[in-house]
A and B are shown apart, each in its own frame.
Chain A
């Protein structure tokens, strides 16, 4: 069975600090997809990134970067020079590619508070 673990329940940082959110996953499939979503206080789910299991290249998008390591089953997310607007709950999610269903298994989320 697939599982996503986000061990950090809550993190507080001071504005402009860098912060890394950890995500560890479990799956028996060789083909799978990993995601990060942001949920601001308003409640909607904002898509940040999707990565498939064959693409281990790290990705950078502005202040955001992602480090995917299959060897440790981890897909960590780093925010550089954090800002107050980054305050939100961040979810890591996994989907196995089989059976034609694109359902997501989410971690419990990490609540990030950026203090001005």
Chain B
């Protein structure tokens, strides 16, 4: 167990729908990172939050949004889903000051049908 918890593990939904993926970071970690792993794009960075504030943005679609709550858990919201959004979504957390303890969760596998 890495200490980073992602729920749900699997999600199947229809095109056009909206889903929310949840990430609970390791205890004490202030930073949360979201990554998408798809067949087309490989593993790519989406967005980072640090202590509730957006810190960095990668190749995140406008249909996607994220937030980090006061208890430091984070949610990734995916809307108007398309078949191409089917992917494995990873969350990682770290203390935020350096690479110490940078840890990935086990991922949420999203299937859009």
Contact = CB atoms under 8 A, between A and B. Distances in A.
**Is this pair of chains taken from one and the same complex?**
yes
A84 B106 CA distance: 22
A100 B58 CA distance: 14
A91 B107 CA distance: 16
A66 interface: no
Given A43-B107, A43-B109, A45-B90, A100 B55 contact: yes
Interface residues of A, number: 19
B86 interface: no
Interface string A75-109: 00000000000000001000100011111111111
A64 interface: no
A103 B42 contact: no
A45 B48 contact: no
A91 B109 contact: no
Nearest to A105: B45
A44 interface: yes
B44 interface: yes
B107 A103 contact: no
A19 to B, nearest CB: 21
5 contacts: A50-B99, A101-B48, A104-B45, A107-B42, A109-B43
Interface of A: 33, 43-45, 47, 50, 91, 95, 99-109
Interface of B: 2, 31, 33, 35, 42-45, 48, 50, 55-56, 58, 88, 90, 94, 96, 98-99, 102-104, 106-107, 109
